[in-house]
Structure 1
């Protein structure tokens, strides 16, 4: 669903809460859109596929229960099944049943998926450095990250 753009604040750094929040959202969206455009151009991955590869690459044994990934990434189970299907069709991941609980299905990286996830991580690191950290400076970038971590922790439902 397309997001409705926030009205432009009257000043570049508005002090009223609505303008401040609009600037946070617009800054994040513009930066995130630039990252995902580069990911799509370089690797032909959409946002959900890229996020899933990175989550699997950072998981123990490069595998996670599909339901856990869907929950963490806020996908519907049906929507995530389609993401998993695309990744398995490309040979980047595969499904595996849990040996202890047959109801649990893991999604795990293949060797090709692990290699692509590493390349993806390197690209995103370079992009984040150039369009986030270098723009804000290391100290301000760290402050923004800490503030967002605090907001996430306080507002998760």
Structure 2
């Protein structure tokens, strides 16, 4: 199979799985993809907080675009902004108590959904191979950036 077709199949499989995941999250918690991803990254981070700039980079947003995401999460009481004591240019986004609860529920829903739509479909061994291959591609792209 040629590389274009191979890559097309990877993208199509990812898109349908990701669309299903984000539709499930939206129905359950009224969060869009960027909001859910921000909560998931925050709950996995040390101290449940990250700088706004780093979080924007990780969710592939401009800092200006991510500010709107942060504003929506703040308005819902899921996160709060906190200044960095060492550098006033840096602003952290951190989970509130309600945000930790919601992020934990979203994480559980992601685990349940991905088990049903990814692990159970491919089988555990193939799912691990796909995940490892994607991690290799991610690292490769970081090396070239």
Find runs of 4+ consecutive structure 1 residues off by over 6 angstroms. none
Match of 1:9 in 2: none
The RMSD of aligned alpha carbons is 0.6
When normalised by structure 1's length, the TM-score is 0.90
Length, aligned pairs only? 143
SS at match of 1:94: strand
SS at match of 2:19: helix
Match of 2:120 in 1: 134
Question: Alignment partner for residue 24 of structure 1, among 10, 33, 38?
Answer: 10
Match of 1:87 in 2: 73
Match of 2:54 in 1: 68
Write out per-residue CA displacement over residues 38-88 of structure 1, whole angstroms, 9 at most, x where no aligned residue: 000000000000000011111111111101111122110110000000000
Match of 2:92 in 1: 106
Match of 1:119 in 2: 105
Which has the bigger relative contact order, CA under 8 A and spacing at least 6?
A: 2
Give me the whole-angstrom Cα distance separating, in 1, the residues matched to 2:6 and 2:126: 17
Give me the whole-angstrom Cα distance separating, in 2, the residues matched to 1:40 and 1:113: 16
For structure 2, which runs of at least 5 residues remain unmatched after alignment?
A: none
Give me the whole-angstrom Cα distance separating, in 1, the residues matched to 2:58 and 2:32: 17
For structure 1, which runs of at least 5 residues remain unmatched after alignment?
A: 1-14
Structure with higher helix content: 2
Structure with greater Cα Rg? 1
